[in-house]
A and B are shown apart, each in its own frame.
Chain A
Amino acid sequence: SQKIEQNSEALNIQEGKTATLTCNYTNYSPAYLQWYRQDPGRGPVFLLLIRENEKEKRKERLKVTFDTTLKQSLFHITASQPADSATYLCALTGGGSYIPTFGRGTSLIVHP
C-alpha cells in the first residue's frame, strides 16, 4: 500500500541554522509533491510545490528537493527563526488521482 513517512520526532535546532526535514514514500509514483506548514489549531498553509521532473525549487529561505529514484523529498529552511516553529506536512499527488495524500508531519522547533 502507499506510504508516506515523515520523521515523527520533533526537530530541534538553534536559530540561524538550516533545518532539513525529510519526506519518504513507497509504492507511489507522484506527479508532484507539496509542502505545507501547519500551526497548532490551524489549517495547513501551502508553501512549495515541486513536480516529478524538477530536482529543486526555491522560495526565499525555503528549498525543496525531489529525488524520484530515492523516493524522497528534502525540505530546507535556511537561517531559521523561532517564527518558523510549526509542523511541516508533505503531500503527494499522483497515480491518476488529483487528491493529495498527506504525511503525518514533522514538528520543527527553533530555539532562540
Chain B
Amino acid sequence: GAVVSQHPSWVICKSGTSVKIECRSLDFQATTMFWYRQFPKQSLMLMATSNEGSKATYEQGVEKDKFLINHASLTLSTLTVTSAHPEDSSFYICSAPTSFTDTQYFGPGTRLTVL
C-alpha cells in the first residue's frame, strides 16, 4: 500500500514559538493532502485541504494565518503552527488519497505539546 510519513513524530515547544510539521508521500505523488487534528478520544477533525501548487482550503473555524500550509511539491506538504499556544496542543495527522483508490493513506501523526 501507499506510504505517508510525518516528521517529527512528536514535538514540545514553548508558547509563542512556531512549529513546522512535514507530511511526505513516499511512493506515490499526491496533488492533494489533508491535515487533521485529533483531541483525546475525539474524532479526526479536518483542518484543511492542501493542494499542490495552489492555496490551501481551510475548514470553517480554522485560522489560516495561524495554521500555514504549503504544498510545494507532489510529495511534500507542510503545516506550520505559528505562535503556538497550549490550546494548540493536539495530535496532528496528514493523509493523502491516491489516484488509483478511493481511500486515504494516513501518516503516523505528530504529537504537539505547547508549554
Contacts of B95 in A (CB 8 A): 43-44
A43, B43: Cβ atoms closer than 8 Å: no
Interface size bracket, B side: 20 to 34
Nearest chain A CB to B110 CB, angstrom units: 9
**Number of A-B pairs whose CB atoms are under 8 Å?**
49
Cβ of B21 to closest chain A Cβ, rounded Å: 12
Interface SS, B side: strand
A16 at the interface (CB under 8 A from B): no
Residues of B within 8 A of A (CB): 1, 4, 6, 34, 41-44, 46, 49, 91, 93, 95, 97, 101-109, 111
Q: How far is the CB of A8 from chain B (nearest CB, A)?
A: 8
In the complex, which range does the number of interface residues on chain A fall in?
20 to 34
User: CB within 8 Å of B: which residues of A?
Assistant: 32, 34, 36, 41-46, 49, 89, 91, 93, 98-105
